[in-house]
Chain A
């Protein structure tokens, strides 16, 4: 077209412009430039070709449907005017005509028959039987149908679709609004092969007009690929989905988002939206909606037959996707994420194995360390025993005992505590009948008490002259209430008769004066058997029961209240006690999988899980426990705790919001 000028304003028109002068067109919109309306005479009943248009029935993406009367046959029909300009070219129009002729041959009780296809004044149209009734879209309106009814409709629709396919007609645009339910409650499919042939070129500016409603479109159509019979299987699936759940499989705010979902997202399972949907029907519906056409029913007949099996209560052929298959499908769609996920999972598994091995290693190392500490503690006890043995034969002590000189005994005891090289918070002497004779520091109430049940008294008497020192069980002092443990030895005369029992005792502590006992990572704890407080004079079995108490702990300050060690795992392994206390016992073992330090209850530094190994201190009944932090379990517990906390917060917020919401 050559350049020309506007007939109204004389402005030059650009070549190729669509025939109107933009300037003058814009002027038509500006207020006051539009001339007043000239009244028009009533034009009477409207005609289209030989048809008399009675009333508009509805408007679709493709055109408008009229209720029209065909005077030549005196029958009322549905007349669909196809908006011109929607066909891409002459070839498209020809293809439309061909398919319409094929559709006119389709005769099926569940298909709305096409009567005539034609063109009037360049306006393509076709006529169909006028079905009085509602479309499935109007019938559902957001409320699910009973599953059996939905399945019956779907089976009849699938049957109609199958006969269409047999004639080579693909529907391409199955959706609830294209299925009418007639007075006999039969679903009737309309627009066979006539829909979706059209491409709107002129209004390419309007995306929505181009795509229509993509909620029911198959993924291959959304991707611009060719539709085939399996696209219609998808369409039936989409209809079933809406009948069962009251909503289309995909629905987003905008056309493009919906298309994106159709291509990429799996629909929410129908049972998630409506618990009443039978599992088999859900499986069947989702098989139709598979993204990959090859995963759907191969034909509408297969779908129809499976729906039939469902309605008869027979097992259906479709199988629900297993978890693994769903994961596989997801992985194919998201290869990058899936690879990352697999790598992460492998890494986590490796870390888990490494963590398990590391924990086992740590426990073994701790047991080994415990054995070492136990033997050095045993050596130290040997040294102290030797010193006590020497002290117990001191002629000065024997002389004081013979003279029954209490002040001399007290002086002697004070000197022993000062210079004896023994861990002795207290030192005291009992007579052979277990009554106190002297004590340092001096405590008068001591003299009145009977100490016969005490392990330090009875144990000392069990030892012979060759090995006189007894390592006693821990006990609670009746003088100051503190937990103590003691070394005791009988003081004998030349003939071996017992003159008295000499005892030195010490209380709870962190190191017991042993240097380098505590390391940064590994903590050493000493557990002792507990000598319970018995009412005096009451007989009891010996050796004592195996209740243990924490005697030495890095968290203790000197003289701290002792913690009980309530762990049955030690009881069975307590070596025989009484006589030959210091004979070594080269044994050590890991303390199970998890260990919680009892001191953790009062000192936060020791709370949480530890890994521990344990070794007996000869035959004394004491144990050395070496513990180090269980970082693996600690981090796992921390993560769980954080997750639990987050969940609590989230639930709390929801509850709060719910309580604030207006009724």
Chain B
């Protein structure tokens, strides 16, 4: 991961990364437990491990894949609180990460149509989260400098089921030449690829591993 060493800055970055990838953890737990318990355990994981920085003690997350390490940490917690009602033990007003249970459940239902093991579901949710984050960053980047309309028109340029809107039509809508739109569409795809690599780079220990990680994620969604 980019923030090398075990400085507190690096740990902050890792904490934020943990927070960003809460959904795959929820999905994994959800495959194993009913919704309320899955939510409790997710909260427990963040309250007890991530917020307290306890998660960083012992194993060094900077070695190997962040994805695998995070799941291992979660499994460790689940083994520790096995059976015990985590919610009952945690008294007082604990700080929660704002999980919108309805939203989480909707995402879960959306993601878990196929028959998958909890681990497969975790991998799959992870891949989708990586994509969603990259896409979100791309959209923000476009909107931030007033190219929001262009982004919305060109989102079809990214691979998907919707037949891409003919470039001529986009050009008409935006008052640009067809060539300019074509170039913009191409650039959009390229920028997405770069952002995706950037996102993955945060979760692996060296730049050389990005491609390998991407291939694993590819396997997870296929």
Bitwise, A51-93 to B at CB < 8 A (1) or not (0) is 0010010010001101000000000000001011100000000
| B133: interface (CB < 8 Å) | yes
> Is B135 in contact with A20, judged by CB distance below 8 angstroms?
yes
State in angstroms the CA–CA spacing of A257 and B97 once bound together. Answer: 11
| B171: interface (CB < 8 Å) | no
> Is A23 in contact with B12, judged by CB distance below 8 angstroms?
no
| A28: interface (CB < 8 Å) | yes
State in angstroms the CA–CA spacing of A66 and B16 once bound together. Answer: 29
Q: Among B95, B111, B144, which residue has its beta carbon within 8 angstroms of that of A64?
A: B144
| A17: interface (CB < 8 Å) | yes
> Is A37 in contact with B187, judged by CB distance below 8 angstroms?
yes
> Is A7 in contact with B161, judged by CB distance below 8 angstroms?
yes
State in angstroms the CA–CA spacing of A201 and B46 once bound together. Answer: 21
State in angstroms the CA–CA spacing of A31 and B215 once bound together. Answer: 11
State in angstroms the CA–CA spacing of A476 and B142 once bound together. Answer: 106
Contact partners of B169 in chain A: CB under 8 A: none
> Is B190 in contact with A37, judged by CB distance below 8 angstroms?
yes
| B34: interface (CB < 8 Å) | no
Q: A41-B180, A81-B143 are in contact. Are A26 and B218 (CB under 8 A)?
A: yes
> Is B143 in contact with A20, judged by CB distance below 8 angstroms?
no
Bitwise, A1-45 to B at CB < 8 A (1) or not (0) is 000111111010111111111111111111101110111110100
> Is B148 in contact with A123, judged by CB distance below 8 angstroms?
yes
> Is A207 in contact with B20, judged by CB distance below 8 angstroms?
yes
> Is B144 in contact with A59, judged by CB distance below 8 angstroms?
yes
> Is A40 in contact with B110, judged by CB distance below 8 angstroms?
no
> Is B160 in contact with A13, judged by CB distance below 8 angstroms?
yes
State in angstroms the CA–CA spacing of A254 and B214 once bound together. Answer: 29
Q: Among B51, B146, B155, B221, which residue has its beta carbon within 8 angstroms of that of A254?
A: B51
| A205: interface (CB < 8 Å) | yes
| A259: interface (CB < 8 Å) | yes
Q: Among B16, B155, B192, B215, which residue has its beta carbon within 8 angstroms of that of A208?
A: B16
> Is A6 in contact with B161, judged by CB distance below 8 angstroms?
yes
B residues contacting the other copy or chain, number (CB 8 A): 69
> Is B146 in contact with A81, judged by CB distance below 8 angstroms?
yes
State in angstroms the CA–CA spacing of A7 and B164 once bound together. Answer: 8
Task: Summarize B's interface: helix, strand, loop or mixed.
Answer: helix
Q: Among A6, A84, A253, which residue has its beta carbon within 8 angstroms of that of B160?
A: A6
> Is A207 in contact with B98, judged by CB distance below 8 angstroms?
yes
Q: Pick from B128, B160, B189 the residue with the most CB of A within 10 Å.
A: B160
Contact partners of B161 in chain A: CB under 8 A: 4-7, 13, 19, 21
> Is A9 in contact with B159, judged by CB distance below 8 angstroms?
yes
> Is A14 in contact with B162, judged by CB distance below 8 angstroms?
no
State in angstroms the CA–CA spacing of A43 and B174 once bound together. Answer: 13
Contact partners of A204 in chain B: CB under 8 A: 100, 103
Q: Pick from A22, A25, A202, A256 the residue with the most CB of B within 10 Å.
A: A25
Q: A29-B200, A40-B187, A208-B19 are in contact. Are A256 and B158 (CB under 8 A)?
A: no
| A46: interface (CB < 8 Å) | yes
Q: A22-B128, A28-B193, A81-B146 are in contact. Are A40 and B180 (CB under 8 A)?
A: yes
Q: Distance in Å from the Cβ of B187 to the closest Cβ of chain A?
A: 7
User: Which residue in chain A gives the minimum CB-CB distance to B179?
Assistant: A41
| A203: interface (CB < 8 Å) | yes
Contact partners of B183 in chain A: CB under 8 A: 38-41
| B23: interface (CB < 8 Å) | yes
> Is A84 in contact with B98, judged by CB distance below 8 angstroms?
no
User: Which residue in chain B gives the minimum CB-CB distance to A81?
Assistant: B146
Contact partners of A64 in chain B: CB under 8 A: 143-146
| B21: interface (CB < 8 Å) | yes
Q: Among B22, B46, B110, B132, which residue has its beta carbon within 8 angstroms of that of A16?
A: B110
| A534: interface (CB < 8 Å) | no
* Chain A residues near B (Cβ < 8 Å): 4-9, 11, 13-31, 33-35, 37-41, 43, 46, 48, 53, 56, 59, 63-64, 66, 81, 83-85, 121-123, 201-208, 210-211, 224, 253-257, 259-260, 263-264, 336
Known contacts A20-B131, A81-B144; can you find 10 more A-B pairs with CB under 8 A? Answer: A24-B158, A28-B196, A30-B211, A37-B190, A38-B182, A56-B145, A123-B146, A207-B98, A254-B15, A256-B51
12 pairs, CB–CB < 8 Å, chain A vs chain B:
A14-B111, A20-B158, A22-B131, A27-B159, A29-B134, A29-B197, A30-B215, A35-B190, A43-B180, A81-B146, A205-B22, A254-B51
